[in-house]
Chains A and B, each alone.
Chain A
Amino acid sequence: MRVILAEDSTLLREGLVRLLVEEGHDVVASVGDGEALLSTTAAYQPDVIVTDVRMPPTHTDEGLRAALEIRKRWPEIGVLVLSQYVEKRYAADLITGDGERVGYLLKDRVAQVGEFLDALDRVAAGGAAFDPEVVRRLLARTTHTDPLAKLTAREREVLEKMAQGHTNAGIAESLYVSQSAVEKHVNALFDKLGLANTAGYSRRVLAILRYLGS
């Protein structure tokens, strides 16, 4: 697929470019700030962009702002944001809208090359990819009024996987259970969370995430 990279650290940028090229992707541009990300995206119309959050000039949230802008202007382009920290606000910002073709990973996740590439594929394919750490943080809020408290341990596991953007087949594989068992859990937890079961998996993820992050 055609990718644009935005990352201000030359070291990481070069590493990422090589990795993507080795995996057979086409890196059409790699840039170091939000401005350049927007202009190259406008020029090349890639399938997906990967961007760091903190970039020059202010090193606060340029990358994220550029990513949100891209989602607004070209909704068909996938957006994968790499962040130093879990910032719930960023996750929430990204999820709003139609909530497809979007991912939010911790930067360190790039070192888990397999997971990173997998997330990139999911985003490009119209799905979602949220860092396990982000999801864990969102799931961690269990209070008496929290409907999450009603879930069984297994259902929570399924929800976590789902929130990361995995399909039922993927969840079944990683939890070593049958797909029908996963579907059962999914339906059960949808009932408990009061969510209508829809077909599109990324939509359901985002519905859940939005629900958790609200």
Chain B
Amino acid sequence: MPDPAATRRYLRKMLRGTLGVAIGAATAFAEFFYVLFGGIALAIPALRPPVFAGARALSEVERRRIEKYLGAENATDYTGRRAMTYLVPRCVIGLFSTGIFLLLGYGVVIGTYVAYQKAFGEWPGEGSLSDQIATVGLGVLLLFLSAQGLIGIATLERKLARRFFGPSKKEQLRRRVSELATSRAEVVEAVNGERRRIERDLHDGVQQRLVALGMLLGRARRTGDPDHASELLRQAHEESQRALEDLREVSWRVYPIALDSDGLHPALEALAERSGVPVNLRVDLPERPPAAIETVVYFVASEAVTNTIKHAAATRIDIEAERDGDRVRVRITDDGTGGARESGGGLSGLARRVAAADGEFTVDSPLGGPTVVTAVLPCE
């Protein structure tokens, strides 16, 4: 059972749209002549400004009509020249809609006439049953095609206006807000993912070592044999060193402090040194990007390298970071087995991180490799 209020709303929208297209059909005539004569007038340089101004005025009428009747908001900051180029396809569409209305009118007239004859018993007259069916069938088909035509015209009008005028400020803001809401949720998710990873790192590395260390010391205390005890103590001492190394590793993964002090290049160098697979690094950044962007670039590289080492069986990795206009591009390429998916654990976290910084993130990884992970980040 459809909701009656919704049905009413829908019908109102349809009526409003039809009215909008009808008005557009009327204005199309004026525009047609304007384009015709205005186009000729453009040959004379002195006449250009007033011609463009007139085109703008006409386009404003169209823009307001489309906003009011067809429910699409567009920007007002277009030039007269652009308005003129808009009017050309616009008046063609308008004339088409005139054609559709003429067809509709024709159908209504014929339909009324037939209904009138039927009421007074004069129809079908000499006509057979198949003629009747054909006439009614054609009428219904014509009605359907006209309705489809009107819907198509409305869509075309909206598309054309969007193309020539661009989205309105309000529309742009709406889009931006929804983008930000999405990326905010993604930031939270990315942070949570990182926290989970840190927790695992601490538990599977540092904590295990400390427990093992405690066990060694406990055993040393329990044994009655002094030689064995001193051997256990020696092992415990080594274990404590390893626990410290693990702790350093984890804290480095949590946040490479070199990023703050020395910047991206040294941090990436350190990353390359620590990698188990040979890393070839090329950094071409004449000036330091903002700290937040450096951090994202670093983590993209570090996570991509980690992923490669874990899954790709690669023999070499290339990291390139370079300036590209007002943006920074980082590209990590490996010669591994490929088949990496952006939806995979590590990479989806990166995608979110990059999205949060208004960047673009792509993973190109055909089966059999090579895998290319690219992030482009704005540097405003």
Contact = CB atoms under 8 A, between A and B. Distances in A.
A19 B207 contact: no
A108 interface: yes
A111 B219 contact: no
A23 B224 CA distance: 12
B199 to A, nearest CB: 9
Interface in A3-25: 9, 11-12, 15-16, 18-19, 22-23
Interface residues of A, number: 17
Interface string B315-339: 0000000000000000000000000
A189 B68 CA distance: 79
B212 A11 contact: yes
A22 B219 contact: yes
Contacts of A57: none
Interface in A110-149: 110-114
Contacts of B215: 12, 15-16, 19, 110-111, 113
B276 interface: no
A18 B203 contact: no
B352 interface: no
Nearest to B213: A111
B211 A110 contact: yes
A107 B218 contact: no
Contacts of A112: 214, 218
A108 to B, nearest CB: 6
B41 interface: no
Interface in B191-249: 203-204, 207-219, 221-223
Interface string B4-37: 0000000000000000000000000000000000
B253 to A, nearest CB: 18
A84 interface: yes
A11 B222 CA distance: 20
Interface string A10-42: 011001101100110000000000000000000
A11 B209 contact: yes
Of B212, B222, B223, most buried by chain A (CB within 10 Å of CB) is: B212
B43 to A, nearest CB: 77
Nearest to B239: A11
Given A12-B208, A22-B219, A22-B223, A84 B203 contact: yes
Contact of B207 (A15, A107, A114): A107
Interface of A: 9, 11-12, 15-16, 18-19, 22-23, 84, 107-108, 110-114
Given A9-B204, A107-B207, 13 more contacts: A11-B212, A12-B212, A12-B215, A15-B211, A15-B215, A15-B216, A22-B219, A111-B213, A112-B218, A113-B218, A113-B219, A113-B222, A114-B218
The 7 closest A-B pairs by CB, nearest first: A111-B214, A113-B218, A15-B215, A9-B208, A15-B212, A111-B211, A11-B212
